[in-house]
Amino acid sequence: MKLIDGKKIQTEMIEELNHKVSDLMFAPKLVIIQVGDFGPSNKYVAQKKTVGEKVGIDVEHIRFYEDNTEEEILNKIDELNEDPKVNGIMVQLPLPKGFDEDKITNRVSSKKDVDGLTTENIGLLFDGKNAFTPCTALGVMELFKRYNIDLKGKHAVILGRSKLVGKPLIACLLNENATVTVCHSKTENLSSITKKADILIVAIGKKHFVTKDMIKKGTVIIDVGINVEDGKIYGDVNFDDVKEKASFLTPVPNGVGRMTVISLMNNVIKAYQEQSK
């Protein structure tokens, strides 16, 4: 089994993107809009600011609270859409109860939608056209590329159909000519499907759900899961159980999670370059 080291790839990409930014006329600017004071979201915003600083991207954090109106948030997004100094805008999810997630994320200009969550970008992605790809999906695809994992004609099975991971990965994998099967909570005879997978991507949020009896020998396994229990982080895949059968395997932590933030920075630089044209 070969370990897919997200931490190592993130370090390499920080250096590569830093070189890209140093060649630009101005530092690209990302604005993160956060609503509320949700602990995990605070942590993710802090990570984005840290990685942005290493890359050379100017990251501004704008916080709203539950007593702010949706209209105030939408007005701020409109203002940022019109600001030529702002290259990327992202809304930190989840939003507190009562806020319309689709309405707020879709207010971001598709040209500044570095999270890849607007309906326009999702449509372009599925059409195989130039689009901003959601960052976790983009990170997974970068890992395949960096480890020379050929997707053409391979049977890729995705566990999970979320807007952030499962659904965009369908388009990404199809665009690379993989054969794609998507499984979810209503899928019957799940093991019979996962045993046929050449590539298995797991994003369901269940600790150690995938075990060695669910895979065939030589499967490439990408574990997107993050499950916190007693202060420790676990993946959706039982790493120690499957490692003898897998050909490639991501750890948790230091696997896909490391790729999400650096992929966001990659999208910000892409937005800067496209807006500069």
The answer to whether the bond into 94 is cis (omega within 30° of 0) is yes
Our answer to whether residue 48 is catalytic in this structure is yes
Distance CA 94, CA 16 (A): 30
Tell which residue, 70, 93, 103, has the closest CA to residue 162.
93
Tokens of 155: 């049977």
Q: What gap in Å lies between CA 272 and CA 239, rounded to an integer?
A: 39
Token code pair at residue 193: 């499907």
User: One of 48, 112, 154, 270 is an active-site residue; which one?
Assistant: 48
Count Cβ atoms below 10 Å from residue 63 Cβ, excluding itself.
15
Which one of 92, 112, 236, 270 is the catalytic residue? Answer: 92
d(CA 258, CA 136): 9
**Catalytic-labelled residue, pool 5, 115, 198, 236:** 115
Confirm if 158 and 203 have CB atoms less than 8 A apart. Answer: yes
Active-site residue flag, 47: no
Q: Are the C-beta atoms of residues 88 and 268 closer than 8 Å to each other?
A: yes
Q: How far is it, in rounded angstroms, from Cα 237 to Cα 249?
A: 10
Residue 76 is among the residues annotated as catalytic for this protein: no
For the chain, how long is the longest CA-to-CA vector? 55
List, by residue number, the catalytic residues. Answer: 48, 92, 115
